């Protein structure tokens, strides 16, 4: 697959906007925090700095292991970190609102328009209801976002009132995205404590997400594998 060359940022131009700048930006910090507070109030799992940071790291790692250029890696990190800020407005269509909110932030920080366009596309396409990976950055963000299933995301302190999303996330004690560049395989490896949720319940709520991940993995020229409790599901 041909890898696009993005804005070169030569020495005599404005320095590239980095993930470190984005994470430290007061506006971004406030938006990420408020987005999570809004979802906490609605009973959703964690979508704050932990989730944003993890998605950024995984998205960057996916492209790095597949030998995409360093700027694409960093744009994947930026898109991953900003992908859920629109939740502060409303959960519905939050991918699109997140993309639109990212635009003035990145423009203010000095990111070139061609790079902002890539980031906006990746953010706007990360939800399974209406998103599709059409560039490597978008594919990496989709994979990273859907891979974050873990008990640390559960914000409901009362086990007795867990819904299926709480139970499945709480049951997930390990989640890891493994990239085998040589074999062109990207695997999501999960460990699920079945005393809290059955494996079939994972598929009940995440099947559409795994279908989206498969499309994103295939876009990157790789095969997707899902392993739960050391058993592969194809």
The CATH code of the domain that includes 50 is: 1.10.3210.10
Please report whether residue 60 resides in a domain.
yes
Q: Looking at the chain, which runs of residues are DSSP E strands?
A: 172-180, 185-192, 223-228, 231-233
Residue 157, Ramachandran bin (φ over 0: left; ψ between -120 and 50: alpha; else beta): alpha
Q: What is the DSSP letter of 3?
A: P
Query: In this structure, is residue 87 part of a structural domain?
Result: yes
This prediction's pTM:
0.91
Q: Quick check: is 67 in a domain?
A: yes
Provide the number of structural domains found in the chain. 1
Q: What gap in Å lies between CA 232 and CA 77, rounded to an integer? A: 28
**pLDDT tens digits, 11-56:** 446 689 999 999 999 999 999 999 999 999 998 998 999 999 999 9
Distance CA 45, CA 174 (A): 16
User: Which positions ≥6 away from 10 have C-beta within 8 Å?
Assistant: none
Residue numbers of the domain that contains 126: 19-233
Tell me whether residue 57 is in a domain.
Answer: yes
Nearest of 132, 130, 146, 123 to residue 35 by alpha carbon: 123
Residue 84 in domain: yes
Cβ neighbours of residue 212 under 8 Å, at least 6 residues apart? 128, 131, 142, 146
Please measure the distance between the N-terminal and C-terminal CA atoms of the chain and give it in whole angstroms. 24
Going by C-beta distance under 8 Å and a sequence separation of 6 or more, which residues neighbour residue 104?
A: none
Q: Is the pLDDT of residue 77 over 60?
A: yes
- Residue 27 is assigned to a structural domain of this protein: yes
Is the pLDDT reported for residue 146 higher than 70? Answer: yes
What mean pLDDT, rounded, does the chain reach?
Answer: 93
Residues 172/227, Cβ–Cβ less than 8 Å: no
Q: CA triplet 77, 83, 88: central angle to 5 degrees?
A: 140
**Residue 183 has what pLDDT?**
97
In this prediction, residue 131 has a pLDDT band, given cuts at 50, 70 and 90, of confident
In a domain, 3, yes or no: no
């Amino acid at each position: 697959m041909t890898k696009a060359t993005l804005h070169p940022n030569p020495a005599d131009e404005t320095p590239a906007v980095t993930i470190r700048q984005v994470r430290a930006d007061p506006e971004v910090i406030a938006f990420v925090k408020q987005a999570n507070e809004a979802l906490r109030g609605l009973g959703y799992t964690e979508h704050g700095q932990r989730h944003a940071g993890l998605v950024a790291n995984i998205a960057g790692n996916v492209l790095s292991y597949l030998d995409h250029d360093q700027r694409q890696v960093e744009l994947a990190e930026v898109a991953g970190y900003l992908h859920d800020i629109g939740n502060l407005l409303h959960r519905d269509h939050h991918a699109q609102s997140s993309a639109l909110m990212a635009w003035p932030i990145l423009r203010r920080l000095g990111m070139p328009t061609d790079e902002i366009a890539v980031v906006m596309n990746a953010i706007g396409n990360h939800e399974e209801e209406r998103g599709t990976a059409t560039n490597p950055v978008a594919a990496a963000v989709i994979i990273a976002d859907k891979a974050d299933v873990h008990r640390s995301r559960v914000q409901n302190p009362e086990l007795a009132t867990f819904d299926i999303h709480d139970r499945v996330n709480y049951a997930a004690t390990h989640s890891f995205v493994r990239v085998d560049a040589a074999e062109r395989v990207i695997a999501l490896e999960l460990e699920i404590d079945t005393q809290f949720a059955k494996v079939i319940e994972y598929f009940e709520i995440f099947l559409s997400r795994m279908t989206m991940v498969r499309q994103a993995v295939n876009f990157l020229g790789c095969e997707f594998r899902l392993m739960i409790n050391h058993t592969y599901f194809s």
